[in-house]
Copies of this chain bind each other. A is one copy, B any other.
Amino acid sequence: MPKTALSKRAQNTPPSPIRKLAPLAINAGKAGIHVYKLNIGQPDIESPREYFEGLRLFEEKVIAYEESQGNERLCRAWSKYINRTLNIDTRPEQFIITVGASEALVFTFMTCCDPGDEIIVFDPTYANYLGFAAIAGINLVPVLCRMEDNFALPVRSRIADKISDRTRAVLLCTPNNPTGTVCSKEELRILFDLCEERNLFLIVDETYREFVYDDFEPISALNLEPKSDRIIVIDSLSKRFSLCGARIGCLLTPNEEVLASALKIAQARLAAPTMSQFASAYMLENIKDDFLERVTNEFRARRNKLYAALKEIPGVIAHKPQGAFYTVVQLPVEDADAFATYMLDKFSYDGKTTFIAPAAGFYMQGSQGLQQARIAYVLNKNDIGEAIAVMAKGLESYSRR
C-alpha cells in the first residue's frame, strides 16, 4: 500500500526561521550553557497585574463560548483605549476579536483575496506573513527595503511598479518587525494615496504601535482617514501588554462589508478564548497610562544599549531602530545562518552563548540578508550587554576557525 501523500501546500509551507534553531538551543541549555535568547519577540516584561486581577474576577461557573465577533465589553474597552490614546473615534462594532494578530491577518487575507491574488509587502518581512499567505493560498509580492536606507519605505514608484491586476492590498507593519523601522505620517499618507489611486486595501499591522522612540509619536493608519473603507488595522495585546500567551488580537476597520465577511469566517471557528477576553477587557478598563510609558522607556533604554554595543563590534553594520524591539544587523560573516548555528552548537564564552535569528528567513528575495540577523531586544540592559559581548567573542572565534 503506497503511503498517503500530504498536500503540496503542506510541503511548501516554510518552517519558522525563528524557531528552527530552537533544538540546538535546548541542547546547549542541557549542556549547562546559558543561552541569551535574542531570537524571538517574547519580552521579559511582567504582564500587567490588572490582567491577573481580571482573571480572578471571572465568576461564571461555565466557561462558555464567547460571541464570534468578540466579547462586547472587550470591544468597547479596546475602542475606548484607541480613541483615548490616538484621539480618533472608532466604535466597538468595528472590532472583531481574534486569536492574536495572527488570526486577524488570516481573516483579512481571506476576506480581501481569492487564491492566487496578491498582496504587496515590504522585504524583510515578518516571517509568519508567509505562513498566513500559504494558509490563504495568496501570493505576497515583496518590495525591498534597504539597510543603507535604515529600511525606510521605498519611494512610491518602486511600490507602484509591483502592482498588478491581481494586487488587492498593501500590507505594512509599523513599527516594523523585523527591522524596528517606523513609518512617518507622511510616508503612511503616500502609501494611502497610492492605495486610493489604485483601489487597494491598506492593511497595517500596528502590533507595536506604542513602542516608538526619539521624535516619533504613536499613530494609527486610522489617524489619516478615520472613516476610510480602505483601511484595515491589525492589532494585538501580545507585545504592548506583554501578553503573548493570552492570544488576544483584533481586526479593526470602518469597512462594514469587510467586517461582515470576516465575521462569517470567524463564526466557523466559533470564538476566541473566553476568560482571556474577560481579563483583557478588565485590564484595558483599569490599566494606567504609566504602564506603557514605563515599558516604552525600558525598550528605549535597551535599544540605546544594544545599538551602542553593536557599533563597537568590528565589521558589524547596525542601524538605529526607531521602534518595536527588533533590529536587523549586518554581521562580518558570509552566512549568518551558519554563524547563528555555530554560536549554539560549537561556541560558548564563560559558559554563555547568544541565540540570534538569521535574517535570510525574513527575506522573500532569496539572496538578500544572508549576512544579516534579527536581534530582539527583549532582555534587560545588563543581559543585552552581556549577550552582545558574548556574540562579539563568538564573531572573533568564528573568523579564526
Beta-carbon contacts of A261-289 to B below 8 Å, as 1s and 0s? 11011011111111110000000000000
How many Å from the CB of A369 to the closest CB on chain B?
20
Answer yes or no: A117 CB below 8 A from chain B CBs: yes
Give complex CA distance A44, B9 in Å. 40
Q: Which of A56-87 contact B (CB under 8 A)?
A: 61-66, 68
Nearest residue (CB) in B for A103 is B269
Q: Which among A146-154, A242-250, A352-360 touches the partner chain?
A: A242-250
- Could you say which residues of chain B place their CB within 8 Å of the CB of A272? 247
Q: Is A63 a contact partner of B135 (Cβ separation < 8 A)?
A: no
Answer yes or no: A196 CB below 8 A from chain B CBs: yes
Beta-carbon contacts of A15-29 to B below 8 Å, as 1s and 0s? 110010000000000
Q: Is B3 a contact partner of A229 (Cβ separation < 8 A)?
A: yes
Q: Which of A24-44 contact B (CB under 8 A)?
A: 40, 42-44
Beta-carbon contacts of A218-262 to B below 8 Å, as 1s and 0s? 000000000001100000000000111111000000010110011
Interface residues in A, total, Cβ within 8 A: 80
Give complex CA distance A43, B62 in Å. 8
Answer yes or no: A115 CB below 8 A from chain B CBs: yes
Answer yes or no: A134 CB below 8 A from chain B CBs: yes
Q: Which of A114-153 contact B (CB under 8 A)?
A: 114-115, 117, 128, 130-132, 134-135, 137
Answer yes or no: A347 CB below 8 A from chain B CBs: no
- Could you say which residues of chain B place their CB within 8 Å of the CB of A2? 199
Q: Is B270 a contact partner of A128 (Cβ separation < 8 A)?
A: yes
Q: Which among A45-53, A174-182, A310-318, A382-390 touches the partner chain?
A: A45-53
- Could you say which residues of chain B place their CB within 8 Å of the CB of A103? 269
Answer yes or no: A370 CB below 8 A from chain B CBs: no
Q: Which among A105-113, A208-216, A330-338, A393-401 touches the partner chain?
A: A105-113
- Could you say which residues of chain B place their CB within 8 Å of the CB of A294? none
How many Å from the CB of A65 to the closest CB on chain B?
5
- Could you say which residues of chain B place their CB within 8 Å of the CB of A51? 63
Q: Is B63 a contact partner of A6 (Cβ separation < 8 A)?
A: no
Give complex CA distance A258, B7 in Å. 10
Q: Is A65 a contact partner of B46 (Cβ separation < 8 A)?
A: no
Question: Given A110-B135, A115-B115, A230-B4: A270 and B62 within 8 A (CB)?
Answer: no
- Could you say which residues of chain B place their CB within 8 Å of the CB of A47? 61-63
- Kindly list 4 other residue pairs between chains A and B, CB separation below 8 angstroms, not including A10-B111, A63-B244, A65-B245: A15-B267, A45-B62, A65-B244, A128-B268
Counting from the closest, the 6 A-B pairs by CB-CB distance are A131-B268, A245-B274, A10-B261, A16-B267, A63-B245, A102-B269
A sample of 25 cross-chain residue pairs with beta-carbon separation below 8 angstroms, ordered by A number, consists of A4-B199, A4-B229, A4-B255, A6-B258, A7-B110, A9-B115, A13-B265, A15-B267, A16-B268, A42-B65, A46-B62, A47-B62, A63-B245, A102-B268, A110-B135, A128-B267, A128-B268, A128-B270, A131-B265, A131-B268, A137-B137, A244-B274, A246-B273, A273-B273, A276-B276
Q: Which residues of A contact B (CB under 8 A)?
A: 1-4, 6-11, 13-16, 19, 40, 42-47, 51, 55, 61-66, 68, 99-100, 102-103, 106, 110-115, 117, 128, 130-132, 134-135, 137, 168, 196, 199-201, 229-230, 242-247, 255, 257-258, 261-262, 264-265, 267-276
